[in-house]
Amino acid sequence: MEWGPGVWHVVVPKKVAKSLPKGRLLIEKEWRALGIQQSRGWMHYAIHRPEPHIMLFKRPKDFQKMDPAAQQKFLAEADMLVKKKNAEMA
């Protein structure tokens, strides 16, 4: 998969960050439940260790141009990838 040219940094209020699960990434349902709003296709891929209240997101190149079935497939795969990465970090 080819990733887009940039990443998206979301700065979560430190008060909210204290309630984030420690040392793991969030699937889309979880980060949206925190009130993070952004277009579809973004995947939480890293934790900024020096400042854990900064969440790093990326998405595939041309996600918006994918047909709806391909978008849905990616979103399901992204959640599985996040869960796999969390298992590796545990």
The answer to whether the CB of 8 falls within 8 A of the CB of 54 is: no
Name, in order, each residue with C-beta under 8 angstroms of 28's C-beta and a sequence gap of 6 or more.
Answer: 42, 43, 44, 75, 78, 79
Task: Report the pLDDT value the prediction gives residue 1, as an integer from 0 to 100.
Answer: 67
Mean pLDDT of the chain: 90
- Phi, then psi, of 45 in degrees rounded to 5: -115, -10
Three-state secondary structure call for residue 68: helix
Global pTM value: 0.85
The mean per-residue pLDDT over the stretch 31-53 comes to 91
Name, in order, each residue with C-beta under 8 angstroms of 54's C-beta and a sequence gap of 6 or more.
Answer: 9, 10, 11, 12, 48
